[in-house]
Chains A and B, each alone.
Chain A
Amino acid sequence: MRSGPSVIRTLYANELRMVLRDRRTIMMAVVLPVLVMPVMLFASHWTSSRREKTLEETTYSYAVTGSEAGAARSLVDATRARLSTNAGKAPAAFSFREAAVKEPAAALERRGIDFYLDAVPGEEAVRSAERQRAKAKPPSVGGGAAGGATEEIDDSELATPGAPSIRMVFRADRDVSRTGFRKMRDALRGTRDQQRAALLAARGFPVEPAAVAAIVERNVATEGQVAGLTLGRMLTLMLLAFILSGGAAVATDSLAGEKERGTLETLLATAASRVDIVVAKHLVILTVALTITLIQVANFLLYIGFKLIPASAGFSAAVPPQVALLLLVLYLPLAALVSSVLLLTSGHARSYKEAQLYFFPIFLLGMVPALAPFLPGLTLRSAIVLVPVANLSVAVKEILIGAFDWPMIAVSWVVTALAAVWASRLAVRALSTERLTTGAEADEVDAKGGPALFSRHVLRWFAVMWAVVFAVAVNMPADTDIRIQIVINLVVVFFGATVLMIRRYRLDVREVLALRPVKPVVWLAVIAGAPASLFVGVGVFKLASLFVPVPPKMLESFGQALLPSNIPAWQAVALLSILPGIFEEITFRGALLYGLRGRLHPAGVALVVGLVFGLFHVALFRLAPTAALGVMLAAVTMMTGSIFPAMLWHAVNNGLALALAELKYPLAESGAGQQLAALAILAAAFWLVYRNRTPYPGLRPWRRPSSS
């Protein structure tokens, strides 16, 4: 029997040789990334500098209308005069030409002019402003005006009866119109300020008016950091696009292509193991993905770092070589994750055409997490750190603006690396099944459905549920009644999905929900263990906050959101203690545990159930304590073979937390002594449960049976 590194090496060398001989793949995977990036950089630089030059050289044409046109013209003339002398400095360009048109609005529409000044008496401007206010909605919180039309000079509030008022009308959808308007606006404002200052000085105002409460702008970000923001937002997205397109070309050829040509069957009939074959193929796609990553990082270093391309000022500062190296390390798990996904996708396809069909939605979906850096205000120190790919893209953005949040960067790397390992294991396992390697429509598990298929799909269901819970949490208005949110999560998402799973896979409700009686002594252990677990949870939280510090303010506001004072006590108990005890147990220690029971070692089942449970408590700082509770509840369920102890445990744990909060007991300040005592009680409770265990059916043996 042949297996192991030497076979993988032979397979890998062979695969790579074939990839290198395929011009189409080389084109997609190497030539395109090498050429496209510099071409894009050149093109963007060329178009922006050309645009700037054009706008600089343009003489903007405008019209003046309205009953106070004379006043507007004299302001323009004064501005022209001011700029041509410009007090000791070089005369500034004032490239405007007034066009004689009868109907300025129509002329603006047909591009006869770039903008016009509509000068009216102050009374009319005041009336117009009042009409506008009556029509407008009440102002929203922090709502700034957006859109082109509202960019016109809006001093209507200041319009004074007896003084002329100038309204500037332009089109924001035309570069020339918008730029001309802005230049004219700034120039006119400058002149107006000067005239105002002269008037005040004439009336004896002692200082320059602008010097009163002078506002000085100071941008403390370096040019490199500003440029880094733009680059950081784009970098992961672009890299992902290249890895996906280049990797897809190789992945398609590697599995779907082999199936279509019939060479996969030849390979499968050799002494090489399926795992070796998949690993070698995976390594080839990874090699291509890494090559693309290297090429991109090298592109930035070469073209921008060494100024081979005149990129915008500051770009070179954003990527010093050590940062480039850090980016390379960060992108390693990204490349691995993408290659696993591509391999898996290619394995599902029976032909080239089918693989290409699958890749399109994968491309679109794959790019979504890389858009995270475009979300305003999103930092790495948030739940995003747990989303593979999205976390790295946000980390890269922060690194490029000079913010190095090392613990969070490490967490991002580990999370994406774990996702890559998981996807890779999934690919190896999936591709070892005959359904994918032989292209048969479905294997026995698929066709039969039922519990075996449920086990295969259970994590997918929870991934979708997580996405729904996350989307609900993000999109729900901040002032939504907490009761509604809890009921939606517990009843609609958790319970609804569990019912759907049971129906879809025709599962036995008693089996899935582990509705079995337990020995009476177990209840004693639960009553002792549940309060102890609460204190141990606090200890876990404190330990975790050594790595991820949580601002006390955040905790406080979270506590208030979770337990608003206006909710009657009985409702708080029902919503935060009893309902979670029932519905979260049905979902996590019921459906999830049942789905995972035979797939992993019992310790693995408890850990995964706990971790998934923790992940559903969206806030990052709740992950560790809730995951710890989840592990304990899973362990109790597996040892008793019943869900009821976990239900009581969960309800008591939450109920006690609620009661202590109501009594203002400083739970978070409990000392190490209390926590150690709690740990001892917890251990005793588990010992009691273990001694009286009636194990959950269908679990893997704790120890592998020794083979004779």
Chain B
Amino acid sequence: MTSPVSVSGLTKIFHDESRGEVRAVDGIDFECKGGEIFGLLGANGAGKTTTLRMLATILLPSGGHATLMGHDVAAEPEAARHSLGFYSASTALYPRLTPRETLDFFARINGFPSDRVNERVTALVARFGLGDYADARVDKLSQGMKQKVSIARTVVHDPPILIFDEPTVGLDVLNAIEMRNVIAEFRAEGKTIIFSTHIMNEAEKLCDRIAIIHRGRIHACDTLAGLREATGHHYLEDIFVYYVEQANGH
């Protein structure tokens, strides 16, 4: 059986007027198993977001392949997205809808069976404690509440694969902890999760396997224990620096 997420030789080239051809992602390969959190660890500009946006079919790959639940992201983008819940700091909510309307809308356009939409929305409202605010407009909600609505929005159609692109950026400590707890809960439910971050601590605590990405290439991909063994360093920060320096030719 193929892995829920399979990436091979994935490449994205941008053409920038001042810099010319930029290989934002340069032939990366990885696979994610069901029920694991796969971490993409890299500095800003390393190619994490571009990779995840290609997986979400927001960007078209310049080369290589990626499949979500067996559907090629370039050839069958709608089918690939059907299996996916995508969350990033830049995926905002509609300010003029209420949380209930938001969940209802995203369940329906993601193809959740319409006779079960109400039941699903009610369950998510209860799970994320949105009850008192479920019928207030999103633009009236606090940042923490919006974050909860956003997570509920990501999983409303019960997709097998979830992508979280730097989900804790801009959150305070308590909200960041809550985000990590929720992601761990999704793993327990058997979801395949791709989690990108530049925060070592987060990757250490949450990820089953970590891929270190730098300048568009994956330089290592293993469990934390495996990475420790390969580099001889204990802390992820040191492991990360080790690979980056190696990549930079030091």
Which A residues contact B (CB, under 8 angstroms)? 1-3, 7, 10-11, 14, 17-18, 21-22, 261-263, 265-266, 268-273, 434, 437-438, 440-442, 444, 446-448
Contacts and interface: CB of A to CB of B under 8 A. Distances in A.
Contact of A266 (B59, B93, B108, B111): B93
Contacts of B7: none
15 contacts: A7-B108, A7-B109, A11-B109, A14-B94, A17-B96, A263-B93, A265-B58, A266-B91, A268-B56, A270-B110, A271-B79, A271-B157, A273-B78, A442-B15, A444-B62
Given A14-B105, A261-B95, A447-B17, 15 more contacts: A1-B79, A1-B111, A17-B96, A17-B97, A266-B86, A266-B91, A268-B56, A269-B81, A270-B110, A271-B109, A271-B157, A434-B59, A437-B58, A438-B53, A447-B16
Contacts of B106: 270
Nearest to A3: B78
B88 interface: yes
A378 B58 CA distance: 50
A269 B82 contact: no
Contacts of B109: 2, 7, 10-11, 270-272
Nearest to B159: A271
Given A269-B86, A434-B59, A1 B78 contact: yes
Given A2-B109, A21-B96, A271-B109, A265 B90 contact: yes
Contact of B15 (A1, A21, A447): A447
A434 B92 contact: no
B93 A271 contact: no
A447 B109 CA distance: 34
Interface residues of B, number: 39
B128 interface: no
A447 B92 CA distance: 29
Nearest to A271: B82
Contacts of A270: 81, 106, 109-110
Interface in B56-108: 56-60, 62, 76-79, 81-82, 84, 86, 88, 90-97, 101, 105-106, 108
Nearest to A445: B15
A269 B78 contact: no
Interface in B1-60: 13-17, 53, 56-60
Contacts of A266: 86, 91-93, 153
A3 to B, nearest CB: 6
Given A21-B96, A441-B16, A265 B81 contact: no
Given A1-B78, A10-B105, A262 B56 contact: no
Contacts of A268: 56-58
Nearest to A19: B96
| Of listed A266, A273, A438, residue having the most chain B CB within 10 A | A266
A2 B137 CA distance: 27
Contacts of A437: 58
Contacts of A273: 77-78
A442 B111 CA distance: 32
Contacts of A272: 78, 109-110
Contacts of B79: 1, 271
A18 B16 contact: no
B94 A2 contact: no
* Top 6 closest pairs, chain A to chain B, by CB: A447-B15, A262-B92, A269-B86, A2-B111, A271-B82, A266-B91
B81 A271 contact: yes
Nearest to A22: B96
A3 B79 CA distance: 10
A436 to B, nearest CB: 12
B82 A2 contact: yes
A22 B101 CA distance: 16
A17 B95 contact: no
A10 B17 contact: no
Contacts of A11: 109
A10 B13 CA distance: 35
A435 to B, nearest CB: 10
A18 B82 contact: no
A14 B96 CA distance: 10
A434 B58 contact: yes
B16 to A, nearest CB: 7
Contacts of B57: 268-269
Contacts of A434: 58-60
Contacts of A1: 76, 78-79, 82, 111
A429 to B, nearest CB: 14
A102 to B, nearest CB: 73
A18 B14 contact: no
A495 to B, nearest CB: 31
Contacts of A444: 13, 15, 62
B90 A271 contact: no
Contact of A262 (B62, B84, B91, B97): B91
A7 B97 CA distance: 18
Contact of A263 (B60, B76, B92, B137): B92
Interface string B193-230: 00000000000000000000000000000000000000
Nearest to A442: B15
Contacts of B77: 273
Nearest to B88: A265
Most buried by B among A261, A269, A272: A269
Nearest to A275: B78
A448 B15 contact: yes
Nearest to B109: A272
B14 A269 contact: no
Contact of A17 (B60, B81, B84, B101): B101
Contacts of A14: 94, 97, 101, 105
Contacts of A448: 15
Nearest to B53: A438
A266 B110 CA distance: 12
A271 B78 contact: yes
Nearest to B60: A434
A444 B11 CA distance: 13
A22 B84 CA distance: 31
B13 A269 contact: no
Contacts of B81: 269-271
A261 B57 CA distance: 20
A677 B97 CA distance: 69
B59 A269 contact: no
Contact of B110 (A2, A262, A438, A446): A2
A18 B96 contact: yes
Interface string B101-125: 1000110111100000000000000
Contacts of B13: 444
B78 A265 contact: no
A263 B153 CA distance: 12
Given A11-B109, A262-B92, A447-B15, A269 B76 contact: no
B17 A441 contact: yes
A272 B110 CA distance: 7
A176 B110 CA distance: 71
A440 B54 CA distance: 14
Contacts of A265: 58, 88, 90-92
